[in-house]
Structure 1
């Protein structure tokens, strides 16, 4: 039905001498007609289709198959795949729960204020929380149930009719952890709350049910040896469904004595699974009686403007502790000053931060600049609930400056931002807070007098200077939090993410280069050089320590700067070569294909493509058929925000070690650049030595926007 793809398919068939064997019909299958002179002369007796997504049915599989069986196929047609099953597993996980509830976790050292009741009663939204579940640490959740088959689909509709609505009820006995695994004590360690349902599916590829394609996470696949050992897919993922309130809690004194029928009934739970033609939703109730809930729709307003990741970020202990330390330190600095009001900038400002400031007598007043009407309503409800209306003033972002000035009764001494804006895709997009502060500079204390200098800041050559704002004067004498942003980049080996940009080339003897050219043209026109990805879901191995690209002082008018800076570092190929066995083990012996995999066996590559000998597998350089090759196939980019002496990172949360898998912040998306071609790092020169490699980077700022350029090349090309 997509005309460019249909034309591409015809060109590919012609290039592979199959034009006379295959006919492309430029229509949706639901628009096709069968009969003499029509799209198909007669009904087909085999159907091969891929109409699935993370929810299995989200792309309209039910209506597509029903139409095909009624209008396009014979009654005994064979379908590939022939069937599908959906599995659900109930889990307890406060951390996963934070991805669906605002401020689900409140640190003890924050004021224990009342959150809006709508937070607790809101069922959430229908948006699918899809993740690479195999990368989810099993320490993050406690299984309450075994995986349960909740829906089964016969795509032909012969054995099980394909309906547009269905509901199932499964009664189960919760799996509870014992207090002491070494004895028979039947008391359980802790009460467990059912927070979420983990969902995945499988499809049966043949009619006999012998060949199953499973999307189960690694811990549910018998052949798995670790999170990176199962087949990787980025279209068919898994999903977390956050359970609606009231959440069911299994009491601390639950018993495992199933011989007592009275207790057995008391401790059983019921999982109710519902679906319509495109979506799934779940609920859990106590006992063996099901509670039917409608499809979730947000009633609190927060889910309408806030992503799952941002919701979890609101409860991130690491962030909150760093901000609290910075706030306490700033309040000490303000002692003795007249300017004791705080100006808060951003979207959906964390209620915990507002509550902490509004309840501290050292803060004379809090002014909020908020854009979203939903967030304004939630904030007003929070302030009213805690009787803080007189301590906080909410200013819509579009209010004119003179109106703000008319209500400004307290002198502003601090400008604070988390920073977060709903439309920001990448961490450094949030320097919008700097532009917003510039709009209110007339309401802020005057900056200290700049040092006498004959140099105009914007005329300075920044080419070798990583701090674009070093020579700019401060916009204000107020304390600014965060005071600085530093942007980092790091060359990496992605274990799998490179595949989303890898060309198909030859597959099963079929030449797909025409398709590669179409995709490459579209990428050049529409894709960003650096795209946003949650890298905790996409394992990668560090090829170098983080490289600081640039730093901006957010007390200055950073948005006015136009400048470029370059950086280059040498990659330690000798050290990388020594780590090959370790990286090999990390890959769990799952090697990729030529052109992108983080670690590829050259022998395997030559077997996969017999037209190429080992001597020309790596750009003409000879590589032993028994050696392993490590590739540079991506760059990770992130930002750190400086809050006084504390730094909040959107990148690695543990020390980066060469050759080790990077541990990323789960509550931010990072920037990713995937080069058009990967670069093998363990090439040897004619003398037999490893050829040194150089990682080069360039970053340009203009109108507050950062643009990047990255490359890895032979060190000799640099000199």
Structure 2
């Protein structure tokens, strides 16, 4: 038992929490493991088992003992599939051996328990180690393996270290390549050059108000150029393919070449563009040959490139990349694509001409890795026409009536609102409080490029003095509000506490923008998202109750009832009206009080409620509200969620059939800055 300090993102204060840290860390590891979605992936599980059966059938023909290594066993599922296949082919127990390794200690224990309740304890040995740490003599009794089965893949295929994992195991633990089998056998990465103005909104900051304020190129890509992973199937109507899919890398997992330290690069030339448009986005996916013959294939092929309805999954989605500069092309044009991978990541760029592969292509096209200064959601919020319109309307009300020079204080990590103020109103004296060195540098570059000026104060709010404002009291305090440390949408109530701290610098009749806020919610039926928290019970006829008991219990202990999700990526339908939970007035100092409200949500549409979405709306000025969720609903149309921020979600452990209702108790402790939500389910 000990006290730990943690930062409260709403109040901005350090707070001390009394915890059994050993138990908490253990439970947190379990809760974050996120295996449930994989176990609900029927296609994945079926194809793995088919490939395992085929591999063991082929190994049986050699009449040699079979030693299988399951790397990253998780619940032990693949090891149990292997044990069942060995039994199917009547491999004698003294001629078989299964070793399952799992580096995560809590998961290794869960694997042992799952294996035990499925009566396979004597046939599968679980070792709590990385596969790269296994020793042939000490861990494997000097019995080399002749089959590897592993699921060590992510959105980029190689991001979990698959290349080193397979190379190291096949080199140090296998008998030899000819007599051995790896499941899966191979992996292929595909790329497609597309136009997606929607996805561009998450990458490049657009100029303001018909280029009255321009964003210099060096400031335009603040989210960096690492992979943006999302399920593109949900936004396929915003994607225009300009070429056919292109195979760019192929990995034979038995023959990984590490002579280049797991790096490779190439140029794919003569790529024909089958439509006119602008190449501004790359969509990446991959495909696994589960067996050496390529009979069973498992992949993340997007919906427009397959005739089958893709399996929904959260653990493997799609990779989005961006060229250094978008390229306009005409139908029939040919372009070249530069492709690179290191041990864990991928990089792509497009060239507007056919280029023959030089000996060292990197000399011709140096890779440009851009760090992430702000999030992709923050870039999308900067570009949102909806938000810009709301701010402009509110600013017109606040600023146009005054003939005097107004002194404004801006607090927050968003860039849009202060730049709008400087663009629209030359007489405003703007003070920006910002301690992030990268954002300060970016602001200065944008201001210098556009011959604008303001006062940037590199201080914490508590260190401000009246001298920072030239001894002048301020008229307006502004915020988008957006703060980079916020996770949940209502964490941006940090603005309320910032306002209270800065009141001493404000005139008695000061204006606050935003001035009020309200927490809102709606009952939903998700098509798939709820599966990430569903109990598994059985998977491929193996009992996984130990997994359900420990993972779901750990989630209850360490996870908030509300988690964040970008709901525009997940299809759902509304089952209730939008309900207000709590209201806030930013000018009122309620820091010594607690507010609580109970509401009942009536489920008025046919369906099964499996989740509640929660978000916050801000009133910028009288009657002008900015939402972080949705403004209105149409029961006959799909939900239209704000794409520039994430929403909060409470996923019900037991769905509620309609018609029915549920009660929500919401409480906020102003002094501690703590929310609590209680969802009383199945209240008829």
Q: Normalising by structure 1, what TM-score?
A: 0.75
Shift of 1:431: 1.3
Give yes or no for contact 2:666–2:678 (8 Å, CA) kept in 1: yes
Mapped to 2, the partners of 1:86 and 1:558 lie a distance apart of: 55
Q: Confirm or deny that 1:133 pairs with 2:232.
A: yes
Q: Which runs of 5+ in 1 are unaligned?
A: 178-187, 225-229, 257-266, 447-476, 577-629, 682-691
How big is each residue's C-alpha offset from its partner over 1:396-416, in whole Å with a ceiling of 9 and x where there is no partner?
A: 242666634353365422211
**Aligned counterpart, 2:495:** 433
Mapped to 2, the partners of 1:218 and 1:26 lie a distance apart of: 39
Distance 1:158 1:208, change over 3 A: farther
**Aligned counterpart, 1:263:** none
Distance 1:15 1:439, change over 3 A: same
Q: Confirm or deny that 1:679 pairs with 2:675.
A: no
**Aligned counterpart, 2:395:** 327
Mapped to 2, the partners of 1:642 and 1:438 lie a distance apart of: 18
Give yes or no for contact 2:394–2:624 (8 Å, CA) kept in 1: yes
Shift of 1:128: 2.4
Give yes or no for contact 1:62–1:163 (8 Å, CA) kept in 2: no
Mapped to 2, the partners of 1:150 and 1:208 lie a distance apart of: 20
Q: Confirm or deny that 1:368 pairs with 2:368.
A: no
Give yes or no for contact 1:364–1:410 (8 Å, CA) kept in 2: no
Shift of 1:215: 0.4
Shift of 1:385: 2.6
Q: Confirm or deny that 1:445 pairs with 2:445.
A: no
Shift of 1:316: 0.7
**Aligned counterpart, 1:595:** none
Mapped to 2, the partners of 1:403 and 1:308 lie a distance apart of: 34
Mapped to 2, the partners of 1:162 and 1:395 lie a distance apart of: 47
Mapped to 1, the partners of 2:268 and 2:223 lie a distance apart of: 23
Shift of 1:358: 2.6
Mapped to 1, the partners of 2:394 and 2:560 lie a distance apart of: 35
Q: Confirm or deny that 1:216 pairs with 2:308.
A: no
Moved more, 663-672 or 640-649: 640-649
Give yes or no for contact 1:346–1:418 (8 Å, CA) kept in 2: yes
How big is each residue's C-alpha offset from its partner over 1:43-64, in whole Å with a ceiling of 9 and x where there is no partner?
A: 2222111011111001110111
**Aligned counterpart, 1:381:** 445
Give yes or no for contact 1:171–1:271 (8 Å, CA) kept in 2: yes
More strand by share: 2
After superposition, residues 247-326 of structure 1 pair within 5 angstroms as: 247-250=326-329, 254=330, 256=332, 267-289=333-355, 292=362, 293-298=365-370, 303-326=371-394
Shift of 1:276: 0.5
Match of 1:53 among 124, 146, 154: 154
Secondary structure in 1 aligned to 2:146? strand
**Aligned counterpart, 1:508:** 540
**Aligned counterpart, 2:212:** 112
Mapped to 1, the partners of 2:569 and 2:428 lie a distance apart of: 43
Shift of 1:219: 1.2
Give yes or no for contact 2:166–2:256 (8 Å, CA) kept in 1: no
Mapped to 1, the partners of 2:305 and 2:207 lie a distance apart of: 29
Secondary structure in 2 aligned to 1:202? strand
How big is each residue's C-alpha offset from its partner over 1:213-262, in whole Å with a ceiling of 9 and x where there is no partner?
A: 120111111113xxxxx2111111111112124x3332xxx464xxxxxx
Mapped to 1, the partners of 2:630 and 2:424 lie a distance apart of: 33
Mapped to 2, the partners of 1:445 and 1:339 lie a distance apart of: 14
Secondary structure in 1 aligned to 2:383? coil
Mapped to 1, the partners of 2:450 and 2:207 lie a distance apart of: 18
How big is each residue's C-alpha offset from its partner over 1:510-530, in whole Å with a ceiling of 9 and x where there is no partner?
A: 111011111023212221110
Secondary structure in 2 aligned to 1:125? coil
Mapped to 2, the partners of 1:105 and 1:39 lie a distance apart of: 61
**Aligned counterpart, 2:518:** 486
How big is each residue's C-alpha offset from its partner over 1:499-553, in whole Å with a ceiling of 9 and x where there is no partner?
A: 1111111222211101111102321222111011000111111111111111111
Q: Figure out how many residues of one structure are paired with residues of the other and give that number.
A: 571
Mapped to 2, the partners of 1:369 and 1:562 lie a distance apart of: 29
Mapped to 1, the partners of 2:491 and 2:465 lie a distance apart of: 28
Give yes or no for contact 1:107–1:317 (8 Å, CA) kept in 2: no
**Aligned counterpart, 2:50:** none
After superposition, residues 59-98 of structure 1 pair within 5 angstroms as: 59-75=160-176, 76-98=179-201
Q: Confirm or deny that 1:700 pairs with 2:680.
A: no
Match of 1:242 among 301, 322, 327: 322
Moved more, 431-440 or 664-673: 431-440
How big is each residue's C-alpha offset from its partner over 1:72-100, in whole Å with a ceiling of 9 and x where there is no partner?
A: 22322122111111010112233322312
**Aligned counterpart, 1:604:** none
How big is each residue's C-alpha offset from its partner over 1:26-56, in whole Å with a ceiling of 9 and x where there is no partner?
A: 2211111224x64244122221110111110
Secondary structure in 2 aligned to 1:74? coil
Q: Which runs of 5+ in 2 are unaligned?
A: 1-102
Give yes or no for contact 1:348–1:370 (8 Å, CA) kept in 2: no
Give yes or no for contact 1:313–1:667 (8 Å, CA) kept in 2: yes
**Aligned counterpart, 1:638:** 615
Mapped to 1, the partners of 2:494 and 2:616 lie a distance apart of: 14
**Aligned counterpart, 1:349:** 415
**Aligned counterpart, 1:100:** 203
Distance 1:222 1:406, change over 3 A: closer
Moved more, 41-50 or 404-413: 404-413
Mapped to 1, the partners of 2:389 and 2:222 lie a distance apart of: 29
How big is each residue's C-alpha offset from its partner over 1:109-165, in whole Å with a ceiling of 9 and x where there is no partner?
A: xx6124334225x69635321001111132x23322211111111111189999601
**Aligned counterpart, 1:145:** 243
**Aligned counterpart, 2:290:** 205
Secondary structure in 1 aligned to 2:202? coil
Shift of 1:348: 3.8
Mapped to 1, the partners of 2:555 and 2:193 lie a distance apart of: 40
How big is each residue's C-alpha offset from its partner over 1:322-350, in whole Å with a ceiling of 9 and x where there is no partner?
A: 10111112123334xx5722111111432
Secondary structure in 1 aligned to 2:269? strand
Match of 1:415 among 472, 477, 480: 477
Distance 1:334 1:428, change over 3 A: farther
After superposition, residues 606-685 of structure 1 pair within 5 angstroms as: 630-644=607-621, 645-652=623-630, 655-658=632-635, 660-681=637-658
Shift of 1:560: 4.2
Q: Confirm or deny that 1:18 pairs with 2:120.
A: yes
Alignment RMSD: 2.4
Secondary structure in 1 aligned to 2:219? helix
**Aligned counterpart, 1:713:** 682
How big is each residue's C-alpha offset from its partner over 1:242-301, in whole Å with a ceiling of 9 and x where there is no partner?
A: 2124x3332xxx464xxxxxxxxxx32101110011110101011112774444433xxx
State the 4+ residue runs in structure 1 displaced beyond 4 angstroms. Answer: 158-163, 359-362, 399-402
Give yes or no for contact 1:92–1:142 (8 Å, CA) kept in 2: yes
Distance 1:698 1:363, change over 3 A: farther
Distance 1:419 1:63, change over 3 A: same
Q: Confirm or deny that 1:157 pairs with 2:251.
A: no
How big is each residue's C-alpha offset from its partner over 1:669-703, in whole Å with a ceiling of 9 and x where there is no partner?
A: 0000112222333xxxxxxxxxx522211111113
Give yes or no for contact 1:493–1:543 (8 Å, CA) kept in 2: yes
**Aligned counterpart, 2:55:** none
Give yes or no for contact 2:414–2:481 (8 Å, CA) kept in 1: no
**Aligned counterpart, 2:144:** 43
Distance 1:488 1:38, change over 3 A: closer
